[in-house]
Chains A and B, each alone.
Chain A
Amino acid sequence: NAGVTQTPKFRILKIGQSMTLQCAQDMNHNYMYWYRQDPGMGLKLIYYSVGAGITDKGEVPNGYNVSRSTTEDFPLRLELAAPSQTSVYFCASSPLSGVAEKLFFGSGTQLSVL
């Protein structure tokens, strides 16, 4: 069982470039999330999804877009990369509401924007 898989693990972007961070889960979870972790800071929620075709903003959505065309995949898109988006990005999933202890995290994508 792979769990939550994120790709790539590392990426360096130039200012203004775009990229998509991939996230896939094989647990048939309804809920998926994208968090970012800045140095010395806790994780902050970027976007989340409660099912295919349904997404909503979290605390820090500016500069990002998401889509959820299938239950398994939840890609995060950066359209015009900025240095402020240098961070570690974590994708997570959970099966149902009310069971936050069932949150599973991927191993993260370290992104640098130079």
Chain B
Amino acid sequence: GDSVTQMEGPVTLSEEAFLTINCTYTATGYPSLFWYVQYPGEGLQLLLKATKADDKGSNKGFEATYRKETTSFHLEKGSVQVSDSAVYFCALSEAGGYNKLIFGAGTRLAVHP
């Protein structure tokens, strides 16, 4: 079945460092891809999305490009801030509709001043 694999954390960075969180997927169809963020004590929030190959999703300085040839959707940010500390989840839309999502295990990011 469909699945999502993302790099294990925690990822620890200094403020203003470059961030990459790797995400690869396995899917039989052409899913939409998402990055969600979970701040401490809160539910998940959509960070960005891409619905077809070569689409680039972006939001709040984060970017990810839908790469069909490498089945990847890596999250990047040029300069992280302490406020970016959170858990990041890569996800894909499950075939069959109804907006069901399949999530990766999550990557915890800690940014220090």
Binding site for B on A (CB under 8 A): 4, 31, 33, 35, 40-45, 48, 50, 58, 90, 92, 94, 97-103, 105-108
Residues of B near any A CB (own CB < 8 A): 4, 32, 34, 41-46, 49, 89, 91, 93, 97-106
| Count of chain A to chain B residue pairs whose CB atoms are closer than 8 Å in the complex | 63
- Among B34, B41, B93, B101, the one with the most A-chain Cβ atoms within 10 Å of its Cβ is B101
Between-chain CB contacts (< 8 Å), 20 pairs: A4-B43, A31-B98, A33-B99, A42-B103, A42-B105, A43-B44, A43-B89, A45-B101, A48-B98, A90-B44, A92-B44, A94-B99, A97-B99, A98-B99, A99-B99, A100-B101, A101-B46, A105-B43, A106-B43, A107-B41
- Counting from the closest, the 10 A-B pairs by CB-CB distance are A42-B103, A105-B43, A100-B99, A43-B103, A105-B44, A100-B93, A107-B43, A94-B99, A97-B97, A42-B105
* Most chain A CB neighbours (cut-off 10 Å) among B41, B98, B106: B98
- Taking a contact as CB atoms closer than 8 A, the residue among B4, B34, B91, B100 that contacts A48 in the complex is B100
